[in-house]
Each structure stands twice: as C-alpha cells, then as structure tokens.
Amino acid sequence: RGEAVALHQTFLERHPGSPARGEIRFRLADLLLVEARRDFRERMAAYVGDQAAGGTAGVPLPVLSHTSALALYRSILAEDPGFEHRDAALFNAGMILADGGDPEAERMFDRLVTDHPESPYCQEAYLKVGDMQFNAKRYPESIRLYQRAAAGVDPSLQAIALYKTGWAHYNQDRFAEAAEAFGAVLDLYGSDRRVDIQADLEGEAEAYLVHSLACAGGADAFATHFGRVGMRPYEMRILMSLGQHFRRFGQYSQAAATDHLCLGRYPKHADALLSAQRLIDTHQRATLPARASEARLGFAARFAPGSAWFEGQSSDSVRTAGAGFARTSLRTVEQEDH
C-alpha cells in the first residue's frame, strides 16, 4: 500500500491538470485511510507491549488520525465540482469529522443528502446525524432523522435506526411509541430480510419492548399495542416475559393482570399451563392465600384430562403435566381445608 500511495502522489505532482485528478485524489484518500488504521494498530500494539514491560511512563497513548485523508476530501469538494463521486467524498469527510466530534460533520452530511438525495450513502448519513442529535439529547430531531434512515434499503441500517428510534422515544417517557419502534425491529428480524441484517439487536429489542410495555401500563398497554399492530408470532413470549418482569420487581397486581390476560388470550396454548402456575405463585408471593386456592380450584378442571386444553395438546408430556397440575392443585386445596 505504501508504494501505491507514492505512485498516486507522484501522478498528482506530475499531472496537476489531469481530468483524472479527482479520481486519483479520491483513491489516494482511501489508501491513506487504510494506511492510517494500519499504522495506528502497529503503534498501539507496540504501546501495549511496552506497557506490559513497564516502559510507557510518560509516553502518550497512540491516537488514530485521518488528517491527510480529510484534507484530500476537502480539496476534492473545493476543486473538483465535476467529480462523479462527490457524494462518497462528502460521506467519508463527514464520518471522519463525526468520529472526531467535530460539528462540521453535520454540515457535510447535510450537503450529501441535499445535493445527492439518491446516493446510497444517504441512509447512513441520516443515521449518523440522528446519533449526533441523540447524543445532544435533541430526541425529536433524532427521531425524524432515524425515520429517514429506517426508510432506506439496507436492512442492517434499518434495524439500527428503528432500535435507536425506540430509545429516543423511551428517553422522553413516550413508552407506547418506544414499544412500536422496538416491535418494528422484531418484525424486521422476522421477515425474509433477516439473513441480510448484520446487526445483532433482536434480543435487546425484545427486552426493551417488554420494558416499554411495562412502563406504558402493563397488560392494558400490551392489549392496546398488539390490537394496533396486529398478531405477531412473538406476542405470547412478550406477554409472559412482561409477567416475569413485574414479578421480579414485586409488582404482583400487575403480574397477575398479565397472567390473566395470557390465559384469556391464549386459552389452548401449551404455555397457558405455565401462566396458570405463575399466577398461583404470584398470589402466594403477594400473601393472598385465598386467591391462590381459588385459582387452583378454577384451573384444575381447565387442565385436567378431558378438558378442551387437554384435548388440544399434541404432546403427551404436556398433557401429563396438565393432569399432574390438576391433581396437585386439588390435593393442595384439600390439605388446606383439612
């Protein structure tokens, strides 16, 4: 790469008026970016090695610098109005400035999306400026930019933009809107575009969907959210996680409401049995023994052999578990009575 850098620099010196000047300078800037990163890794490795040997006292920590590449991008933008990849030059310059915390980055990205609205770099530019607004706690502005990024074609950037939209709403206590954004992330992962997503956000999006629904009102918020967006393959998992969230923080009335909703919404699902068990456990933790006994008596017939739930199960082990739960529930209530 060092030889390639030298050749590009020699060409620029010998042919200052060449029509290929913009292209050569752009390629040289890219080479300088790569060289700067390689040089930084080498200097950092040497620094770490010296530090392990006790020899870095007073030695400054290596810093990655893209000053030379940035200067070339600036010269391209100032001197080559006909260069066909000005959008790439604007984007690369903006990224360098943004990584250095320079507010000029926002102006570079604004020029990019204004002058080159069809550029493939626009989606990431919107995302990057959205991050700058988010970090400055200007959440409404960041949301508008994240929405523009989420409308782009790259599913990885789309997932990141939706996820950060959720956080921008969450930080404003707009929990219903946050839930919608985090749910949109899960929908994207559930689509046929999943294989193209290079960001691992699914687990976090699911966790924060639960947190958002909990803050928005629990069981009622869940019913409102999925009533608006429609059925989703992950909705029962979210509902059961919501109940566990409330139990973990001792919010037993909210947990019980969530379990009741789960039993009413998915009466024949195999995990309805687990919801019933958790509801009884919730009443016990809340020191409500009468409600726990009432729940045992009510659920015993629901999961016993011959019930609609029992007949609807395809797994022998699940039916056996239901029968065992019914028998144990009746025995426990009988023992309490005697």
SS3 31: helix
Q: 73 to each of 12, 88, 122, 180, 336, how far by Cα in Å?
A: 14, 9, 17, 40, 80
Residues 6+ apart with CB under 8 A from 153: 120, 123
Residue 214: which H helix or E strand, with range? helix 202-216
pLDDT, residue 76, reads: 87
Confidence of residue 35 (pLDDT cuts 50, 70, 90): confident
The pLDDT value given to residue 79: 84
pLDDT attached to residue 13 = 57
The rounded distance, in Å, linking the Cα atoms of 151 and 180 is 16
Q: What angle do CA 241, 176, 244 make, to 5 degrees?
A: 15
| Average of per-residue pLDDT across 297-312 | 95
**2: pLDDT strictly greater than 60:** no
Report residue 49's pLDDT band, with 50, 70 and 90 as the boundaries. Answer: confident
> Closest Cα partner for 149 from 135, 137, 163?
163
Mean pLDDT of the chain: 91
pLDDT (0 to 100) of residue 7: 55
> Do the beta carbons of residue 44 and residue 60 sit within 8 Å?
no
Better-scored residue on pLDDT, 142 or 102: 142
pLDDT mean over 219-244: 96
**What is the reported pTM?**
0.85
Indicate the length of the chain as a whole number: 338
Nearest CA to 143 out of 151, 134, 154 is that of 134
Structure tokens at 21: 């000047």
Counts for the chain of helices (H) and strands (E), in that order:
17, 0
Reported as a single tens digit per residue, the pLDDT across 181-190 is: 999 999 999 9
